[in-house]
Amino acid sequence: MSGLSKPFPSDSPDPRRQLRQELRRRRRALTPNQQRNAARALCRRLRQLPEIRRARRVALYLPNDGEIDPSPLIAWLKDRSVRIYLPVLKPLSSNSLWFVHYHRGTPMVRNRFGIPEPDTQHGAHRARRLPTWALDLILLPLVGFDDQGQRMGMGGGFYDRSLAFTRRPGPRPRLLGLAHECQRVEQLPVAPWDVPLDAIVSDARIIRP
Ligand SMILES: Nc1nc2c(c(=O)[nH]1)N(C=O)[C@@H](CNc1ccc(C(=O)N[C@@H](CCC(=O)O)C(=O)O)cc1)CN2
Ligand SMILES: Nc1ncnc2c1ncn2[C@@H]1O[C@H](COP(=O)(O)OP(=O)(O)OP(=O)(O)O)[C@@H](O)[C@H]1O
């Protein structure tokens, strides 16, 4: 690897990586009871937001690694005839995401990180995939956030790559980042590829940048 593409010399630890580890450790330390209460408080807040009340097509995620759980919303969304989508790792290591319709009976497989996702090996998947610009709303899992509305993810750049188009004019989904309140930090560094969010919602607050 050339020295230029390396953000930090290999003999000094990357501070972003250390912070990510610490924030992931915090959310994994939450008890099942704390997780359940946080998910309820989060979903109560989300149900009040215009972004979600207006949406017909919503992408969410199945929680992993202690992430705050948006799945209590699923029944409410279905009652409103909202179509639900899940992120799927795009094959051929482009490190970006597809969004695939998720319903009762969707065949699921575990991706390379062990997270269940709709099985795109099945012939029907093309029809169930929606171009990302056509979603009304994406709920993104966050590892960290700050009061300015900046976010940090798992570090793969999957969401950033998949949402880079939102900086250009044209139709685009609203973006809400979701996190536990314990993932809030004073200030996160901003990277040039970081896609701005419309809001961040935790179990304790809503931040609109
Ligand atoms: N629930 C959920 N689904 C999601 C994401 C997410 O963050 N949360 N993603 C958001 O991008 C995508 C998957 N991205 C991920 C990126 C890294 C790791 C992860 O655990 N990395 C390990 C290293 C694992 C390995 O390389 O074998 C680690 O950092 O410890 C997991 C998911 C799509 N689906
Ligand atoms: N639009 C993009 N095009 C190419 N590479 C990108 C893009 N966005 C991010 N990346 C790369 O992805 C890597 C991870 O980015 P970063 O640490 O910001 O991830 P993250 O925001 O925590 O993850 P995620 O977006 O999956 O939630 C960076 O090294 C960056 O170079």
Domain with residue 182: its CATH number is 3.40.50.10420
Task: Say which residue the tokens 């497989």 belong to.
Answer: 109
Query: Hey, what amino acid is at 149?
Result: G
Domain that holds residue 135: 15-207
Residue 111 included in any domain:
yes
Residue 92 included in any domain:
yes
Main-chain phi, psi angles of 201, to 5 degrees? -125, 125
Answer whether 26 contacts ligand 2 (Cβ < 6 A). no
pLDDT band at 167 (very low <50, low <70, confident <90, very high): very high
Answer whether 156 contacts ligand 2 (Cβ < 6 A). yes
Residue 3 included in any domain:
no
Residue 200 has pLDDT above 70, yes or no: yes
Give the length of the chain.
209
Query: Which has the closest alpha carbon to 163: 115, 128, 198?
Result: 198
pLDDT attached to residue 2: 41
If one counts the domains in the chain, the total is 1
Residue 2 included in any domain:
no
Residue 30 included in any domain:
yes
| CB half-sphere exposure, 141, CA atoms < 13 A | 24
pLDDT attached to residue 91: 84
Please indicate, yes or no, whether the overall pTM of this predicted structure exceeds 0.80: yes
CA of 169 to the centre of ligand 2 (A): 21
Nearest residue CA, atom 3 of ligand 1? 61
Residue 13 has pLDDT above 80, yes or no: no
Comparing 19-28, 46-55, 87-96, 193-202, the range with the smallest average pLDDT is: 87-96
Residue 193 included in any domain:
yes
Three-state SS at 132: helix
Q: How far apart are CA 169 and CA 94, in angstroms?
A: 23
Residue 71 included in any domain:
yes
Answer whether 161 contacts ligand 2 (Cβ < 6 A). yes
Residue 173 included in any domain:
yes
Residue numbers in the known binding site for ATP are 151-159
